[in-house]
Structure 1
Amino acid sequence: MKLFMASLATESNSFSPIPTGWSGFRESLYTKTASRGEPGLYAVALTTWRNRAEALGWDVAEGLATYAQPAGPTVREVYETIRDDILTDLQAAMPVDVVLLSMHGAMIAQGYDDCEGDMLARVRQIVGPDVAVGLEVDPHCHLTELMLDNATAIICYKEYPHVDISERADELFTICADAAEGKIAPVMRDYDCRMMAMYHTPFQPVRGYVDAMQAAEGQGGVLSVSLAHGFPWGDNPRVGARTLAITDGDADLAEQTARDFGERLWALRNDLPRSYPTLEEGLDRAMAAPKGPVVLADFADNAGGGAPSDSTFVLREVLNRGLRDVALSLFWDPVLVQMCLDAGLGAQMSVRVGGKIGPMSGDPVDLKVTVRGINRDAYQLFGSAPTSAGDCVWLEADGVHIVVNSKRTQTFHPSIFTELGLDLDAMKIVVVKSSQHFYAGFAPIASEVIHLATPGAIAPDYTIIPYTKRDDRFWPKTQDPFSQP
């Protein structure tokens, strides 16, 4: 047996002012040996697949693995060049028995609303109808007809934060290997839930829903159940929540299973929305807490959703209130980072922080700061995967501690502070620019976690997103979307 595997991934925010070009991919991950110990989120699946294949004595051909931090749609020439590189390597590797791809599922490029579907259709054209083609995607994906028509099996990560990438990769390998060997005949069906929401899996009722999906797998011919959350800021005709079921040769069972889980999610809809206090309300709660640190999530400035990660709304309110023992990260500002590196540890400087990319970044803040810590080529953990944050600098301004960095990324783990020497136990408030992926790392050290409804590029109000490619038949914009023609 022979496996070909590759990865091309980014999450495209159609409304982001930041284009996704060559620098976005090449600064994050760009290699044809990702499975040989390369750090990063999109090396995890390939490493899992190589280990499984080699344990079975299979031949392995590995194509390009590349990933760009979420931003605006990918430049057309960049997408087509990367795609064709992978397809050329697949053609050279033929004949193969299994193709496994790790992609995000919400990649949009200039001229392509559905990069994953485009890639799968071209893969299928090369390998023919009988080769098992598997796709692992982020649940914040657009599950399209072109993807479903050309894949043998699609599996989404189940957890948000995404701490189960390796486990889902392992499941996908098993299904595709069994299909290639003629042991099973996977059939996929999906169901449109007509919902737009955030599904935070550590909390009920979503925790119970995910557990039920996993309990259904392996029962009565059901091979896999996924919830595609959708990525609300991707302007795609299929954006929104969909359930997906894979069964062994039984299309009716797959359709019924997907419908059952979709209707179950719909029944939970009024219990799903989490409380998002305003910036002012969140700071009031944090200051009234008996002990710290209280972790505040600056939801709307999450680089992982395509936001610039340089908004100043929270910082300005902290300064206006005269608060102390507050730590904030990550502010993306490679120019300021370089200035601080040149000045050196202990330098006192007048600097301008944030507010650089656009209106959703707020106004810049001018401060007198001291450079308290420097961490070159910093990494933080996302689950078990180390992810690069570039060079990081800790700045202090009268008890307010700000971490700026050179590579745009969200805050995943407390190590982004502690590796600089900043003691989070001494902080009253810790502010992280992230929507949910911070939770696994920060919840164990927090006295309380509060997700803020901050201003910014991805504010958590799905009724105001200016879609041009899908209709309004989704909850909560339409209270009963199923009654609409």
Structure 2
Amino acid sequence: MSAPPRLFIAALCTETNSFAPFPTGWSAFEENGIDRAGSVSDPNSPLAIFRALGEADGFAVSESISTFAQPGGRTVGQVYAALRDMILADLAAASGADMVLLQLHGAMMAEGEDDCEGDILARIRALVPGAVIGAVLDCHCHLTPRMVAAADCLIAVKEYPHIDFADRARELYAICARTHRGELRPIPALVETGMIGIYPTFAGPMRAIVDGLAAIEVRPGVLSVTIAHGFPWGDTADTGTRVLAYADGDAAAAQAAASEVAQSLITAREALRPDYPDIAASLDRAATLEGPVVLADHADNPGGGAPGDSTFFLRAVIARGLGNVAIASFHDPAVVRIATDAGVGARIAIRLGGKAGPTSGDPLDLDVEVMAVTPDLGQMAIDVPYSMGPSVWLRHAGIDIVVCSRRAGIFATSIFEDLGIRLAERQLVIVKSSSHHEAAFNPIARHTWKVATPGALDLDFNRLSYVRRTRDFYPIDGSRPTARVIDLT
């Protein structure tokens, strides 16, 4: 009786903001767990899907680490090397693999390594040269030639907010499993658009472009089309918006599909460009509307590597004397500890936010009442439970402020509701988020938009001090984007 085929799975994810004021260290990964079995408890995670489908197909499955860190600055070099080498050691200990499936972000940078995913995939390819290798990615990835050359198939989520990781994991498994069985021969084509940007997919031209991918993917021979939005705040030579397509043994079909989608992005570039009002204009408009009005503090989104403690928006709200406002969440463990020790009902003086660096603004000295305390505030983040740690609800002059011990963007209304803040009763709700809040907050908002705030995710790309990325892309300095096929040989 022949031995079953071997499937090896692992996950190592973080998104690197080159302009963030702090590094990503060991504790950032430990905070979420460095686990060899954690993914199995969440049936919607890519690793759990890979395992379930692999076992159903008769694979003997080996699982290495599953870990991620909240987006931040570059990962400390020795931390990245240690995590990468855990995966490689586990692969060697498994005596190789016939198929390797990974969950990676695609925009992870470490000290001394701008392309962590390309490094990981190339090292895995060297260990198992005959294996089928695939990875599911975040759409905010830097798709590099090294990544594409080392893998048989790379597929990024299509949606932003990212609600389709499970679907993309199943798609990746199907293509890789068929490739392992000799039924497919995926041929890639990678096309540069000459653009950089941020492209939410819930509405507008990006919605139409993403919906149009389905029609392209059913064309003869075409297997998959990925739009890599890129991550504008990661300064690499490969930063930017790219399209990756695979076709079954047909380079021309892959190139045609990728080029068509790239051109559609270029054609829609003006409409895709973010044009958000600033804080002052947003507060002026919100004052004329019936609530709840939900506003996103775009530049202080921890999900993009921001500190989550900027004070610009709250300072403006206080300066106008506005009340019936709720804001979440400030990452300030010291304030949480002080308020927790004081207890519910206490009136205390705090110094809130403004601690991480210049992009956070100045701290705010506030007199607050402690309204609620919890040892563990949770939210569902892309169908996965996520703990914000010990957290408190503070009230200052009619403004309800959520302060948490763990740094993360806002995904769910539970951040407010579980503390007792009823959003339906609030005129104005402010969330430190770019787009991931939309799925949960849009249904409860009478009006909602994103605000071009100061901070670590500055939307004026002309102000970003790119060093590794040449400044010849749209919308920098009025450049005109042109589609270009990237040589993968």
- In which range does the TM-score fall when normalised by the shorter chain? over 0.9
Amino acid at match of 1:7: A
Query: Aligned match of 1:26 in 18, 26, 30?
Result: 30
Moved more, 336-345 or 187-196: 336-345
Aligned runs of 1:119-268 on 2, under 5 Å?
Answer: 119-128=120-129, 130-268=130-268
Corresponding position of 1:65: 66
Q: Report the Cα distance in structure 2 between the residues aligned to 1:462 and 1:120, rounded to whole angstroms.
A: 30
Deviation string, structure 1 residues 31-64 (Cα, Å, up to 9, x no partner): 000222159xxx8111111111122232110000
Q: Report the Cα distance in structure 2 between the residues aligned to 1:138 and 1:66, rounded to whole angstroms.
A: 15
Q: CA deviation at 1:275?
A: 3.0
Corresponding position of 1:333: 332
- TM-score scaled to structure 2, two decimals? 0.96
Q: CA deviation at 1:138?
A: 0.4
Aligned runs of 1:22-421 on 2, under 5 Å?
Answer: 22-37=26-41, 44-128=45-129, 130-289=130-289, 291-421=290-420
CA contact 1:230–1:239 (8 Å) conserved in 2: yes
Corresponding position of 1:2: 6
**Divergent runs of 4+, >4 A:** none
Q: CA deviation at 1:479?
A: 2.7
Q: Report the Cα distance in structure 1 between the residues aligned to 2:337 and 2:214, rounded to whole angstroms.
A: 47
Amino acid at match of 1:31: D
Partner secondary structure for residue 12 of structure 2 = strand
Identity, in percent, stands at 47
Shift of the 483–473 alpha-carbon distance from structure 1 to 2, 3 Å rule, reads: farther
Partner secondary structure for residue 245 of structure 1 = strand
Shift of the 481–159 alpha-carbon distance from structure 1 to 2, 3 Å rule, reads: closer
Deviation string, structure 1 residues 321-379 (Cα, Å, up to 9, x no partner): 10001000110001111111111222211111111111111111111111111222222
Partner secondary structure for residue 18 of structure 1 = coil
Q: Report the Cα distance in structure 1 between the residues aligned to 2:46 and 2:38, rounded to whole angstroms.
A: 9
Partner secondary structure for residue 147 of structure 2 = helix
Deviation string, structure 1 residues 358-407 (Cα, Å, up to 9, x no partner): 11111111111111112222221123222221122100112100000000
Q: Report the Cα distance in structure 2 between the residues aligned to 1:10 and 1:251, rounded to whole angstroms.
A: 32
Partner secondary structure for residue 287 of structure 2 = helix
CA contact 1:383–1:440 (8 Å) conserved in 2: no
Partner secondary structure for residue 45 of structure 2 = helix
Corresponding position of 2:460: 461
Partner secondary structure for residue 96 of structure 1 = coil
Q: Report the Cα distance in structure 2 between the residues aligned to 1:387 and 1:441, rounded to whole angstroms.
A: 15
Q: Report the Cα distance in structure 1 between the residues aligned to 2:82 and 2:388, rounded to whole angstroms.
A: 26
CA contact 1:375–1:419 (8 Å) conserved in 2: no
Q: Report the Cα distance in structure 2 between the residues aligned to 1:186 and 1:104, rounded to whole angstroms.
A: 21
Corresponding position of 2:487: none
Q: Report the Cα distance in structure 2 between the residues aligned to 1:163 and 1:357, rounded to whole angstroms.
A: 30
Moved more, 149-158 or 213-222: 213-222
Q: Report the Cα distance in structure 1 between the residues aligned to 2:51 and 2:259, rounded to whole angstroms.
A: 34
Q: Report the Cα distance in structure 2 between the residues aligned to 1:99 and 1:191, rounded to whole angstroms.
A: 25
CA contact 1:98–1:132 (8 Å) conserved in 2: yes
Corresponding position of 2:436: 437
Deviation string, structure 1 residues 272-321 (Cα, Å, up to 9, x no partner): 124300100001111110x2110010000011111110000010111011
Structure 1 unaligned regions, length at least 5: none
Q: Report the Cα distance in structure 1 between the residues aligned to 2:385 and 2:189, rounded to whole angstroms.
A: 34
Amino acid at match of 1:187: I
Q: CA deviation at 1:481?
A: 4.2
Amino acid at match of 1:233: W
Q: Report the Cα distance in structure 2 between the residues aligned to 1:229 and 1:482, rounded to whole angstroms.
A: 16
CA contact 2:458–2:464 (8 Å) conserved in 1: no
Partner secondary structure for residue 208 of structure 1 = helix
Alignment RMSD, CA only? 1.4
Number of residue equivalences: 479
CA contact 2:326–2:426 (8 Å) conserved in 1: yes
CA contact 2:49–2:169 (8 Å) conserved in 1: yes
Q: CA deviation at 1:421?
A: 0.8
Q: CA deviation at 1:189?
A: 1.0
Q: CA deviation at 1:4?
A: 0.4
Q: CA deviation at 1:215?
A: 2.2
Q: Report the Cα distance in structure 1 between the residues aligned to 2:165 and 2:33, rounded to whole angstroms.
A: 17
Partner secondary structure for residue 188 of structure 1 = strand
Q: Report the Cα distance in structure 2 between the residues aligned to 1:210 and 1:29, rounded to whole angstroms.
A: 33
Q: Report the Cα distance in structure 2 between the residues aligned to 1:300 and 1:393, rounded to whole angstroms.
A: 23
Partner secondary structure for residue 204 of structure 2 = coil
CA contact 2:193–2:483 (8 Å) conserved in 1: no
Q: Report the Cα distance in structure 1 between the residues aligned to 2:159 and 2:149, rounded to whole angstroms.
A: 25
Q: Report the Cα distance in structure 2 between the residues aligned to 1:211 and 1:94, rounded to whole angstroms.
A: 42
Partner secondary structure for residue 158 of structure 2 = coil
